[in-house]
Structure 1
Amino acid sequence: MASERAAAAGVLRRPRLVIFDFDGVIADSETIALEELAAEMTARGAETSYEQARALFLGMSTARHMAYISEKSGRPCAPDFPDVWHGRLFSRYSTELVAVTGVHRTLNLLDRLGIDYCIASGGSVERIRFALDCLGLASRFEGRAFSAEMVARGKPAPDLFLHAAAARSTSPHECLVVEDAPSGVMAAVAAEMPCAAFLGGSHLDPIRTRHRETLIQAGATACVGDHAELQVMIEAR
């Protein structure tokens, strides 16, 4: 596996901008988010297990969650869904949320190399802001955290990544996207941006090998198991 990663990484040039997905790449938040998403969907008549939520909704926007509830329950999803779900999340974020191991070293490396970075997440502006506060990273991402709420179409459409690149005055081919979700990888491919599949989130522990293949099939340019491998890949360019 290591040799395959090295070979894949060889096709990447050093980027001017690294665009991080948030949940599962910066914040080790996916387990919390998916547990509470499945619970709230089930409470609204769209019975969903944690495993189903993980398979269907990694990287997806709240609009997609609401559409699924409407489809499965046979009635419109009440507009209070985002607030109720976020309330469940925020209650747990306050005491449970941690950063993905090694992310601070990655950010320090990018600062040292003079490489810009930002977040492009399917999560809401409020959710990203609250989580960054919990992690003590709010100041580090001030003005460079972008949400699917800011564009017409969320992932797997390219809109969010193109918006983030334009906001950071960087052309798509000079970016590197770091993603843990198939929808995010597909969005990077559609944006014509190199993409490193990231497998370091704890939510992937039971499915890491299978998920790696899924991300490669979605079009990932490279694959890294954690932030330490991402750092080696970036510094080697």
Structure 2
Amino acid sequence: MADRLIIFDCDGVLVDSEPLAAEAYERVYRKHGMDGVGADIIAQCIGMKQADILVRIQELTGHRFPDHAHDDIWAETKRLFTEKLVETEGLRHFLDGLGAERCVASSSSIERINHSLEITGLLAFFGDAIFSSSMVKRGKPAPDIFLYAAERMGADPSRCAVIEDSPLGVEGAVAAGMTAIGYTGGGHTYAGHGEKLMSRGAVVACATWNAVRDELTARGFLGR
């Protein structure tokens, strides 16, 4: 059983993917004759799995994405990721010195998570400890993915810290009985981002990985 477990969201935390993902959605919707799906709309969907994103976009814009074209979203996203995706600033140094059990718990598909981590050279830091909302019944803000990850890793939820950039992810971590640390170092951050994460239950919001390390250490998740 893991004494302490650090759970990482993927998009916007490990990899700076959210601006690229928003661009992919905008391009694919436009390809299918639906304008008005820009970064402001996608920003309201961060932290959701794709099925929930499509529902939310329809609620916000009235655009119903055609069922037969769902694969187009990943195809465009994968192309942009392959060309441009990078890890978040300072992450590699943080992971190099991380002396704790760790895993990934993301709303993205396993294929997308693995592709993101492979092309950024981060996959070796996590091995098979990668969990997707596709493995559970409910996506974030439900706690399912976090509880599933803890169970698979042999960790008590109360001894888990979750690094999250989305309000929905923070809500899910808190609902799972875990310590949520907000991360605002991605390219999609905005004024009031940290305050919003803390309003959903994050104990702190950090803009750098050095700050994340300090918080994990102070809260007993890492040795001094």
- The TM-score normalised by the length of structure 2 is 0.89
Find the counterpart in structure 2 of residue 127 from structure 1.
112
**Paired letter, 1:155:** K
- Aligned counterpart for 2:53 among listed residues 65, 84, 87: 65
Total equivalences in the alignment? 215
Q: For 1:211, which of 169, 193, 200 is the aligned residue?
A: 193
Q: Which residue of 2 aligns with 1:167?
A: 152
2:73 corresponds, among 61, 82, 85, to 85
Q: How does 1:1-237 map to 2 (within 5 A)?
A: 16-44=4-32, 45=34, 47-54=36-43, 56-71=44-59, 72-73=61-62, 75=64, 77-81=66-70, 83-110=71-98, 113=99, 115-204=100-189, 207=190, 209-236=191-218, 237=220
SS at match of 1:203: coil
Identity of aligned residues (%): 34
CA-CA distance at 1:29 after TM superposition: 0.9
Structure 2 residue identity aligned to 1:24: G
Q: Displacement of 1:88 after TM fit? A: 0.8
Q: 1:74 to 1:100 in 2, by over 3 A?
A: closer
The structure in which a higher percent of residues are helix is 1
Q: CA 1:232–1:35 in 2, change beyond 3 Å: closer, same or farther?
A: same
Q: Secondary structure at the match of 1:157?
A: coil
**Counterpart Cα distance in 2 of 1:147 and 1:86:** 15
Following TM superposition, by how much is the alpha carbon of 1:220 offset from its aligned partner in structure 2, in angstroms?
Answer: 0.8
Between 1:42-51 and 1:187-196, the stretch displaced more is: 42-51
Name the TM-score, length of structure 1 as normaliser: 0.84
CA shift, 1:40, in A, is 2.4
- Higher alpha-carbon deviation: 30-39 or 64-73: 64-73
Distance 1:46 1:59 in 2: 23
Name the CA shift for 1:217/1:42 in 2 (closer, same or farther; >3 Å).
Answer: farther
| 3-state SS of 2:192 partner | helix
Q: How far apart are residue 67 of structure 1 and its match?
A: 2.0
1:161 & 1:35 partners in 2: Cα distance?
A: 28
Q: Quick one: distance in 2 between partners of 1:175 and 1:97?
A: 28
Q: Structure 1 residue 69: deviation in Å? A: 4.8
- What CA RMSD, in Å, does the superposition of the two structures yield over aligned residues? 1.8
Q: What letter matches 2:153 in structure 1?
A: R
Q: Structure 2 unaligned runs (5+)?
A: none
Q: Which amino acid aligns with 1:175?
A: C
Q: Relative to 1, partners in 2 of residues 1:223 and 1:69: Cα closer, same or farther, differing over 3 Å?
A: closer
| Alpha-carbon shift at residue 41 of structure 1 (Å) | 3.4
Deviation at 1:79, TM superposition (A): 4.1
- Counterpart Cα distance in 2 of 1:75 and 1:89: 19
Q: Residues 8-49 of structure 1: CA distance to partner in whole angstroms, max 9, x if unpaired? A: xxxxxxx70010110111001111011212332344437322
Name the SS of the counterpart of 1:201 in structure 2. Answer: coil
